[in-house]
Amino acid sequence: MSATPETTSTDPYTLTPEGIKDPPMGWRASFRYLGPGLILSASIVGSGELIATTTLGAEVGFALLWLVIFSTFVKVAVQVELARWTIATGQPALTGYNRVPPRIGRMGWVNVLWMVLALTKLLQLGGIIGGTAVAFSILLPFGPDPLAFQSLLIWTSMLALGSIALLWTNSYRLIERGAVLLVVIFTFVTVGIALGLPFTPFAYGAGDVASGLTFLIPAGAVGAAIAMFGITGVGADEITFYTYWCIEKGYARWAGPNDGSEAWVRRANGWIRVMYKDAFISWLVYTFGTLAFYIMGAAVLNPQGLVPEGNGMITTLSRIYTDVLGEWASIAFLIGAIAVLGSTMWAAVPSWSRMYVNLLATMGVLDWQDPVARLRWIRIFTVALPLLWAVVYLTIQSPVVMVQIGGVMTGIFLVATVVAVWYLRSTETDPRLRGGTTFNVLLVVSSVAIGLLGVYTLLQVFGLGIG
C-alpha cells in the first residue's frame, strides 16, 4: 500500500482507462490485494480496545459484554457501503460528505460537523500519544519517577518527532507493517490470556458471560458505554478514512472510470468483493481483540476495584498481566501497549492528514486532484498533527478521559455518516453495484441502531436522559 500519493501518471485518485485491472477470483487470489483493513485494524486495536473497553469492563464487570459484540458488528455495513461508493466513483469520503444537503456556503453540513469531531479527536489522539509516552516512561524513565512531568515531556516529544521523521522520510510502509505485526501478536497473546483466565484465581464462568448478554446498561455506566460504542470497532473516523486507503490500495483505479459498460460493472463488483474480504478480515481481528480486552477488564480489574485513571492508566492496565502471569509480565505488557497504542498513533497521522487536506480541498484551498499540492499539504499536517496532539496531552494528562470524550463525539458523528452514506448510495452509487438482499437488510439494521444510539447520546449530553 502506498504511504503517500503517487505521481500524476499513477495517482490512485485519478481514474484512467490505463489503470484498469481485472479483479482476482476467490480468497487465495485476493489475499495479495488486501491491505486497507490492516491499516484499519492497526488504528482500531488501540485506544478503544486497550483503554476504553478495558476501562468499561473494570467499571461494570461483565454487564456490557453484549454491547462490545454489538459495537464491533453493527457498524461494518456502513463502512462497506461507503467504500462501495468510493470504488464506484474514485472519490474519498469528505468529498462525498460535502455534497450532502443542506450546505453552509461552500461546506456541506456533514463536513461542518466533521470539523467539530476533529476538535474533540485532538483530545482522543492526544490521549493515545500520552498513553504511549507513559508506557515508554515506565519502561525506560528519565529520572526516578516515570510519571513525573520531565520524563513524560521527553518521551512525548520523542514520540511526536519520531512519528514525523518516520512518515516524512517515506518509511511509513515499514513502520506500518511492523506495527500491524506487533498488534496482531499482542492481540493473540491477549486472547490467549482471556481464554486462560478460567484456570487462574480470576476465573469466570458461563454465568458471568450470560449476565453480560442481558442487553441492559447499568446505572452510572451510560457515559462510558456510549464512549465505548463510539470508539470500539469502526468509528466514524475509521469509516471515513477507510475510503482513502481503499483508493490508495488501488481498488477504484483498477475498476476504472465509469463508462457505463458491463465490463466496468464486472470489474467494479469484483473489486468490491475484494473489499468485502478486506473488511471481513479486519472485523475478525478487532472483534476478538475487543472481546479479550473487555473480558480481562471484567474478570481481573473489576473484582479488585481497579479502574484505569489519569497517568496511572498503564500501571493499572498492566495488572491484567501481572496478576495473571506474575511480575515478569509487566515488561511484556508495556512493550505490547507501546505496539498497540503506537500503531494507532502512526496509522492515525497519515489518515487524519489526508482527511484534513481533503477538507481544505472542499473549501477551495487546493485542488485535490493535483497530486503535488495534495502531497505538500499532507506533509504539512504530518508535521503539525503529532506536535499538536503532544501539546494537548501535556496540557491535560488524563488519557482515559481524553479518549472517552473523543469517543462520545465519534458516536454522534456516526449518525451524520449514516445520513451521508444513504444519500450517496441513492444519488451516486450505480444501482448495478448495490449489495444483495442480506447486505441491504444488515445496512438498514445498522443504520437504525446507530441512529437510535446517536439520539440517545444527544439526550444524555443535554441532560435529557430516558428512563
> So what's the pLDDT on residue 8?
45
CA atoms of 129 and 344, how far apart (whole Å)? 9
- Amino acid found at 145: D
Q: Which three cell numbers stand for residue 258?
A: 465509469
Residue-level pLDDT at 1: 44
Is there a contact between 231 and 333 (Cβ–Cβ < 8 Å)?
Answer: no
Q: Would the CA dihedral through 305, 311, 317, 323 be positive or negative?
A: negative
Q: What angle do CA 121, 125, 130 make, to 5 degrees?
A: 145
Residue 6 backbone dihedrals phi, psi, to 5 degrees: -100, -175
Give the CATH architecture of domain 8-435: Orthogonal Bundle (1.10)
Q: How many CB atoms lie within 10 A of CB 21?
A: 15
Question: Dihedrals φ, ψ of 23, to 5°?
Answer: -75, 155
Q: Return the beta strands (E) in 60-183 as ranges.
A: 103-104, 107-108
Cell numbers standing for residue 453: 444510539
Lookup: cell for 360: 481544505
Measured CA to CA, the distance from residue 349 to residue 125 in angstroms comes to: 9
Give the C-alpha distances (Å, rounded to integers) separating 231 from 226, 235, 281, 356, 412.
Answer: 9, 5, 19, 20, 11
Q: Can you give the pLDDT at residue 332?
A: 72
Cell match 444527544: residue?
458
3-state helix, strand and coil shares in percent for the chain, rounded to the nearest 5: 75, 0, 20
Q: Which residues pair with 107 in a beta bridge?
A: 104
Q: How many residues can be counted in the chain? A: 467
Mean pLDDT by 10 residues, the chain (467 residues): 48 92 94 87 69 80 85 88 97 97 91 90 82 86 88 92 81 61 71 78 86 79 68 81 92 94 96 96 84 85 79 70 72 74 81 95 95 93 93 79 68 88 96 90 88 69 55
Q: What confidence score (pLDDT) does residue 48 get?
A: 56
Task: Give the alpha-carbon dihedral of 196, 201, 205, 207, to 10 degrees.
Answer: -150
- Per-domain residue ranges for the chain? 8-435
